């Protein structure tokens, strides 16, 4: 199967017909983008991987139950699944007590690096710390538009719909986010 040239919808069709490799190609195409989005949302490698897994398991279940009816909208569709899981996580997390010492040190940020098989995560951490330096200075609503546009590939109309604002608000947030990022790069001498 020359899966790399097939559309997402064709791969979905093949997958539902029993072609498991079609799922592999869909995953390969979209995993980094969705993972980056989720990571930038929750800012925790372990949680991001859990949420990525949960996203695709939900996608598999929904595909099999015939809940994907949209045409040529596979990425926005899985983006919405990931977004909803991130929102659920955020709501849960807000209720969960954090284990932070008196000087604000998050114990779990150290525990993550003692997990087995975490060597790949060290590079991930170095890279993502630069990302965080940039994005964490942004107000939440600006960061949200940035990650939805850049890493979920949603257009501004879709972002507006997903976040419940009008399109001019979404565009304005992106403009301010880009301007603020530029200022941050200059004043804090941060580059990715």
Partner 1 sequence: MIKTVTQDNLVRFIYGEISAEEASLIQEALTSDLELKELYDQLVESKAELDKIRLQPSQKVIDNILNYSRNSAPMEHLQ
List of residues contacting partner 1 (CB under 8 A):
18, 20, 23-24, 27, 31-33, 35-36, 39-40, 48-49, 52-53, 56-57, 60, 64, 117, 120-121, 124, 127-128, 131, 134, 146, 149-151, 155-157, 168, 171-172, 174-175, 177-179, 181-182, 185, 191-192
Please list, residue by residue across 139-176, b when 16 or more beta carbons sit within 10 angstroms of its beta carbon and e when fewer do. eebbbbbbbbbebbebebebbbbbbebeeebbbebbee
Shortest Å distance, C-beta 65 to partner 1: 10
Q: Which of 53, 99 has the CB closer to partner 1?
A: 53
Q: Measure the CA–CA gap between 98 and 107, rounded to whole angstroms.
A: 9
Q: Which of 105, 166 has the CB closer to partner 1?
A: 166
Q: Measure the CA–CA gap between 60 and 38, rounded to whole angstroms.
A: 18
> Position of tokens 């390969």?
28
Q: Which of 124, 141 has the CB closer to partner 1?
A: 124
Shortest Å distance, C-beta 171 to partner 1: 4
């Amino acid at each position: 199967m020359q899966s790399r040239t097939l559309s997402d919808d064709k791969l979905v069709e093949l997958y539902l017909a029993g072609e498991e490799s079609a799922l592999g190609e869909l995953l390969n195409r979209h995993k980094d983008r969705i993972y980056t989005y989720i990571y930038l949302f929750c800012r925790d490698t372990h949680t991001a991987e859990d949420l990525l897994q949960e996203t695709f398991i939900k996608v598999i279940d929904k595909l099999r139950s015939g809940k994907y009816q949209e045409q040529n909208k596979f990425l926005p569709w899985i983006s919405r699944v990931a977004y909803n899981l991130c929102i659920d996580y955020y709501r849960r997390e807000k209720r969960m007590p954090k284990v932070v010492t008196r000087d604000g040190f998050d114990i779990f940020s150290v525990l993550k690096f003692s997990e087995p098989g975490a060597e790949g995560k060290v590079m991930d951490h170095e890279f993502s710390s630069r990302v965080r330096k940039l994005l964490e200075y942004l107000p939440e609503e600006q960061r949200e538009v940035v990650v939805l546009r850049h890493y979920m590939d949603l257009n501004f109309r879709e972002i507006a719909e997903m976040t419940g604002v009008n399109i001019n608000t979404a565009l304005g947030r992106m403009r301010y986010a880009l301007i603020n990022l530029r200022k941050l790069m200059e004043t804090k001498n941060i580059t990715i």
